[in-house]
Chains A and B, each alone.
Chain A
Amino acid sequence: MSLLDVQNVTKTFGGLTAVNDVTFQVPERSIISVIGPNGAGKTTFFNLITGIYTPDTGNIKLGGRELIGLRPDQVVEAGISRTFQNIRLFPSMTAEENIMLGRGVRLKSGYWDAILRSSKFKHDEQEAVDTARLMLDFVGLSKWRNELSTSLPYGDQRKLEIARALATTPKLILLDEPAAGMNPRETEDLKALIRAIRDELGVTVVLIEHDMRLVMTLSEYITVLNYGSKLSEGLPHEVRNDPAVMEAYLGRGTAAGEYGKEAQA
């Protein structure tokens, strides 16, 4: 059974159909990519899954549980976590605090526990710190622990965002262009990290990505969106050779272009 099950989801903004009747399945412990030209509706699709937008029609289920109608924070609690295309770390918090914030959703102590410093509270704080250390270690950012998140190098900020998302112990993590702005070496590191997320933590990964080399070598399955609709899906080599995909990226009659070269690579 698939972990995430999206059935015929549609979302319109005024006259614009951002996501049009998309059906999408994610098997457990897989790495899936969603690609498509700019404006294809990929991020909107993520926003629908994470509850930031509510679809006009369709169903979204995680492990059989309906997600539509849940607030974004409830979706996180249900087990879906995400990163953002334009990095959204909390600038005045240290790397550690950013991750501790992410852990908050799994902590049970409340308002009065915090005021009275109950044993439940102390236990929770310890858990948050432990999680932060573990996650920083996992993504290889231990040395930045007490640095402000915004003072980290760009590539490390992306990794920190991933660590923060992982701190919520998700079943599924959605990565929105994790390699954007990274140099080839950082991208290689990222690839290893994404594999480790799946292999070591057992977390299913869905990513939006423009770096075709990364997508083609990493994903087990690819879905292509164009103008909000699903254009194609399949194994990497199937998608790469799909004429409809070539056309969407390059335009009709164009012989070769940047993406074409990369897709062939």
Chain B
Amino acid sequence: MTTLPTTPAPLKVRPGGGDRTWALLAYTAITAALLIFMRSTIADGPMKLLQPVLFGAFLLSMLFAYQWKAANWAKTIVYITGIVFVLPFMGRENASYFDLVIQILIFSALALGLNIVVGLAGLLDLGYIAFFAVGAYLWGIFGSPQLGQITGNAAYAHGLNPAYFWLFIPLAVALAALVGVLIGLPVLKLKGDYLAIVTLGLGEVIRIFANNLPITNGPQGIDGIESAPVPWLDKIAGSLGFAPEQHKLFFLYILVLAVISLIVLVNRRLDRSKIGRAWIAIREDEIAAQAMGVPLLRTKLLAFASGASFAGAMGVIFAAKQAFIDPTSFNYFQSIGVLSMVILGGMGNISGVILGAVVVTMLNFTVLPTLSEVLQAQFPNINQNLDPSKYQRFIFGFVLVFMMLFRPEGLLPSARHQVEMHQDDPPAGSLSADNHLQEGTGEGEVLSPGFATRGENERTGSEK
């Protein structure tokens, strides 16, 4: 691929600067050492607050490896240290780390999927979690005793053979993509706010279905969902000192890593292709895109289906990991959560979106719960209303408001979005100031019927 002279010169994303090979290695070594050697100190008591701090600091090393200018061998060392040694080691010591990392990776995959829909194609989808639900319930129903209850067939009393798990990942990809197309067909004629509201509604429709249909076992949810048996991997895990109950997490960790690598690859390749360009064109100017030969509905459906398929695959893995799913995992707040990962991290930028997923997931799953746990242990008589975990959404909302005010393009913005966010800023040079003047004198804009009706079309989407 590197020989392909075709990719356009990259926009300047990262500022240059000196080589930071040693800084990177030092940072990684220090954070990894702190995390590993302080693991028992920070396991309990008020020191527990350091847990998410140290863990987050360590995860940052991998981001730095991606962002900083450093020798490739150093970057490889950092990735391998993190993914192959430190994370599994911490997971072995304390399964909650494993759980957290898998959770982060699952949400990263969701965020990457939504990033195609929102970040690249600019279609605001507020019901994205529905596709995740499709994948989760697909395997949830077939991979658990639920199947026996529905069919009344004793042969399925424990669901399908768990080995079918492998078949159900591609099946979920296909089904989620199909649902994406079916939902997309009527909906994608709408634009902007209207699309957002309708997807919001459809997302809820799927949750309500799950909440009321007998095959999904309604609000009680589905229990006993199996994960694929991988005896050879269990053997490896066993010899590495993982406890038997950790074998499943070990397997899922590897699986999720593999799937997310694939997703990142697909994401990158689509982004840098005719289709990626078409998505960006649609986001920026639908009319111009269509006038340049981009088929709107087809291109939008591709975005919708691609995003949905990632969520479908992760749904299956999520169901296998949790072993239990119920409709509350797929409510509106989950959609918003994934959306805020995309926005917080940096729309349109793969590493940004993953960073967003890390930050939001850690905030929700460790930082705030740990904070409240510690506070309760220290001040047992504390007023229940002051429990920080109750303020999870409050704090989260606050973070979002601040981000939108001070860094609307996200933590790691894509160069494209940065352009969009700041194109209305006061022009730096006199050249662009001139442009503004000239644009202002462009005549005929209001009087020409062609453009006078444009606003109307954007509202109703009546254009074909």
**Which residues of A pack against B, CB within 8 Å?**
13, 16, 18, 38-39, 41-44, 46-47, 50, 52, 54, 71-74, 76-77, 81-82, 84-86, 88-94, 96-97, 100-102, 104-105, 107, 109, 111, 114-115, 117, 121-122, 124-126, 128-129, 145-146, 148, 150-151, 153-154, 164-165, 168, 177, 180-181, 210
Q: How far is the CB of A96 from chain B (nearest CB, A)?
A: 5
Closest to B4 in A: A122
Q: How far is the CB of B261 from chain A (nearest CB, A)?
A: 14
Q: Name the one of B281, B288, B449 contacting A43, with C-beta atoms under 8 angstroms.
A: B449
**A59 vs B90: C-alpha distance when bound (angstroms):** 72
Closest to B6 in A: A125
Q: How far is the CB of A47 from chain B (nearest CB, A)?
A: 5
B296 within 8 A of A: yes
Interface magnitude class on chain B: 35 or more
- When distances are taken between beta carbons in the complex, the residues of chain B under 8 Å from A90 are 280-281, 284-285, 288-289
- When distances are taken between beta carbons in the complex, the residues of chain A under 8 Å from B275 are 111, 114
**A102 vs B448: C-alpha distance when bound (angstroms):** 26
Q: How far is the CB of B338 from chain A (nearest CB, A)?
A: 23
B287–A85 touching, CB < 8 Å: no
Closest to A11 in B: B449
Closest to A14 in B: B453
B294 within 8 A of A: yes
B420–A91 touching, CB < 8 Å: yes
Q: How far is the CB of B433 from chain A (nearest CB, A)?
A: 11
- When distances are taken between beta carbons in the complex, the residues of chain B under 8 Å from A43 are 444, 448-451
Closest to B298 in A: A73
B273 within 8 A of A: yes
A91–B423 touching, CB < 8 Å: yes
Which residue among A54, A94, A114 has the maximum number of chain B CB atoms within 10 Å of its CB? A114
- When distances are taken between beta carbons in the complex, the residues of chain B under 8 Å from A54 are 464
Closest to A39 in B: B447
B449–A102 touching, CB < 8 Å: no
B269 within 8 A of A: yes
Q: How far is the CB of B250 from chain A (nearest CB, A)?
A: 29
User: Given A92-B415, A181-B442, 6 other A-B contacts at CB below 8 A?
Assistant: A43-B449, A43-B451, A52-B450, A85-B444, A102-B293, A114-B274
Q: How far is the CB of A41 from chain B (nearest CB, A)?
A: 6
A93–B280 touching, CB < 8 Å: yes
Which residue among A47, A82, A100, A146 has the maximum number of chain B CB atoms within 10 Å of its CB? A47
Q: How far is the CB of B326 from chain A (nearest CB, A)?
A: 34
B292–A128 touching, CB < 8 Å: no
B239 within 8 A of A: no
Q: Name the one of B290, B435, B442, B450 contacting A72, with C-beta atoms under 8 angstroms.
A: B290
A71–B274 touching, CB < 8 Å: no
A to B CB contacts below 8 Å, 21 in the list? A13-B453, A38-B443, A38-B448, A39-B448, A43-B449, A43-B450, A43-B451, A44-B449, A71-B296, A72-B290, A85-B445, A88-B288, A89-B288, A91-B284, A92-B419, A104-B294, A114-B270, A114-B274, A115-B269, A145-B9, A181-B441
**A93 vs B423: C-alpha distance when bound (angstroms):** 13
- When distances are taken between beta carbons in the complex, the residues of chain A under 8 Å from B445 are 85-86
**A249 vs B292: C-alpha distance when bound (angstroms):** 33
Closest to A17 in B: B449
Q: Name the one of B266, B274, B417, B438 contacting A154, with C-beta atoms under 8 angstroms.
A: B438
- When distances are taken between beta carbons in the complex, the residues of chain B under 8 Å from A145 are 9
Q: Name the one of A52, A121, A122 contacting B463, with C-beta atoms under 8 angstroms.
A: A52
B439 within 8 A of A: yes
- When distances are taken between beta carbons in the complex, the residues of chain B under 8 Å from A122 are 4, 6
Q: Name the one of B292, B441, B447, B463 contacting A101, with C-beta atoms under 8 angstroms.
A: B292
Q: Name the one of A73, A74, A93, A107 contacting B274, with C-beta atoms under 8 angstroms.
A: A107
- When distances are taken between beta carbons in the complex, the residues of chain B under 8 Å from A92 are 280, 284, 415-417, 419-420
- What 3 A-B pairs come out closest when comparing CB atoms? A105-B293, A43-B450, A92-B416
- When distances are taken between beta carbons in the complex, the residues of chain A under 8 Å from B296 are 71, 73
**A97 vs B453: C-alpha distance when bound (angstroms):** 29
Q: How far is the CB of A163 from chain B (nearest CB, A)?
A: 12
B419–A148 touching, CB < 8 Å: yes
Q: Name the one of B273, B432, B451 contacting A85, with C-beta atoms under 8 angstroms.
A: B451
Q: Name the one of A42, A71, A94, A102 contacting B9, with C-beta atoms under 8 angstroms.
A: A94
Q: Name the one of A74, A93, A115, A180 contacting B443, with C-beta atoms under 8 angstroms.
A: A180
Closest to B271 in A: A114
B294–A101 touching, CB < 8 Å: yes
- When distances are taken between beta carbons in the complex, the residues of chain B under 8 Å from A81 are 291-292
B295–A71 touching, CB < 8 Å: yes
- When distances are taken between beta carbons in the complex, the residues of chain B under 8 Å from A115 are 266, 269-270
**A181 vs B442: C-alpha distance when bound (angstroms):** 6
B24 within 8 A of A: no
**A129 vs B6: C-alpha distance when bound (angstroms):** 6
B1 within 8 A of A: yes
**Given known A-B contacts A115-B270, A153-B431, A181-B442, A100 and B277 have beta carbons under 8 A apart:** yes
B453–A181 touching, CB < 8 Å: no
Q: How far is the CB of A138 from chain B (nearest CB, A)?
A: 17
> Which residues of B in the span 55-84 have a Cβ within 8 Å of any Cβ on A?
none
- When distances are taken between beta carbons in the complex, the residues of chain A under 8 Å from B136 are none
B11 within 8 A of A: yes
- When distances are taken between beta carbons in the complex, the residues of chain B under 8 Å from A107 are 274
**A117 vs B281: C-alpha distance when bound (angstroms):** 21
B419–A91 touching, CB < 8 Å: yes
A88–B287 touching, CB < 8 Å: yes
Q: How far is the CB of B453 from chain A (nearest CB, A)?
A: 6
Closest to B282 in A: A90
B5 within 8 A of A: yes
- When distances are taken between beta carbons in the complex, the residues of chain A under 8 Å from B1 are 117
- When distances are taken between beta carbons in the complex, the residues of chain B under 8 Å from A129 are 5-6, 8
Closest to B419 in A: A92
B141 within 8 A of A: no
**A125 vs B442: C-alpha distance when bound (angstroms):** 36
